[in-house]
Amino acid sequence: MRTIEGTRAALDWCEARLAAARGAARSGQVAEAVAEVIAGVRDGGEPAVLAYTERFDGVRRGTALVDRAELEAGAARVPAELARSIDAAIARVEAYYQAQPAGGFEVVDGDSRLGALVVPLDAVGCYVPGGTAPLFSSLYMTAVPAKVAGVRSIVVATPPREDGSVPDEVAYVAVGLGVTAMAAVGGAQAIAAMAFGAGVPRVDKVVGPGNAYVTEAKRQLFGAVGIESLAGPTETLVLADDTADARHVAADLVAQAEHAGAEPVLVTTSPRLWREAPRLAEEQAAAIPTAATALASLRERGVSVLVEDLAGGIEVLNAFAPEHACLLVEDPWPVARRVRHAGGLFVGHTTMEALGDYLAGPSHVMPTGGTARFSSFVSVRDFQKVVPYVQAGPELLGRVGRTAAALARAEGLEGHARAVLSRLEEE
């Protein structure tokens, strides 16, 4: 891991990182490949989706959708112990989102009513990454808040296995949540299929993480379909003082590092942790099955920062704006209250981010790449629209109508002014 000493040097590093992210051009190769896929699916429909699936995944299927019998057979193969664990996770996540305020509001102003209606989206697509392992947790972390929001149609897409089927664990979650449809399709073609309704039901919004091609497809299709974010590689910043156990700090860094492209970062006031945690992280990473990926993340993107005090550490944390902020400090709540920019907070020595990945409650789909400065984790609101309403009575119209007309005329919009004044003249 790279080492940085001093708050000022760390802030300069954060600024350089952010500037690089802002100025980074999208890979021309990725953008062009994705544009080709999107155009192909738009013009060719389901046959194009299936052709891209064969081309990119080496899998030939007759349809994009997985039939119900196949889905239920896969779900039945999930071992009972794992099934119980998944059920427990879903229950915790659902309980968390059931507690989220989700209603509208109304203000009565004389004889008028002003407010907002909260309306669920009609149809949402949940993308579940494949890669080296099926990330079935991403399905319940997106589909559960969608169900709580009241979404009627939930469509799932995930890359097929070599035999053309979907992973049993993904099938189990899909069956348990009663999703509308499951497609054995991955990559950019999956996002395009859900956006255009090519072989799968068309959706209004696509959510969920994915690789560079999935992210680029979401970017290019935004407007044709809604998206929740453009997710990049995952990142964790551990803020620790001398009360933290170096083994625990290292374990949290390694847990993040085993994702490809991850950024594991330590910010600490302790010279001991600054020296020991990176060494222990290397040792721990070398001993796990995902050692190659974890060691690459630690060595290529890992950073260990030594700051003068916790105030400096909080400043660095806010400048970095991490997806996950782990507060392994003696008195974490005063620190937590000073955090402005983080996708999620994991407060205290016994609160590891890995717990949040599976069943703590909040969705693990959180903003990355510094976007926690202006965006939030996936919540019920991501699956709802807020529609304002106005009911103006004669009293309100008499009180503010001429003011509205004056404002309209100041902008050169006489038709607007007359629309208001015509009602006043009828009185």
Q: Give the whole-angstrom CA distance, residue 274 versus residue 90.
A: 37
Which residues lie closer than 8 Å to 58 by C-beta, 6 or more apart? Answer: 162
Strand ranges for 172-302 from DSSP E: 181-183, 205-207, 226-227, 235-240, 263-268
Q: 258, 323, 353, 364: which is the annotated catalytic residue?
A: 323
The two structure tokens encoding residue 399: 């009180």
DSSP 109-143: ETTEEEEEEEEE-SEEEEE---TTS--THHHHHHH
Please identify which of the residues 263, 324, 353, 364 carries the catalytic annotation. Answer: 324
Please say if 324 is a catalytic residue: yes
86-95 burial string, b = 16+ CB within 10 Å, else e? beebbeebbe
- What is the residue whose two structure tokens read 């290397």? 282
The verdict on whether 416 is a catalytic residue reads no
- C-alpha 408/C-alpha 150 separation (Å) is 39
How many CB atoms neighbour CB 411 within 10 A? 9
> Residue 116 and residue 112: Cα distance in Å, rounded?
14
Enumerate the active-site residues: 323-324
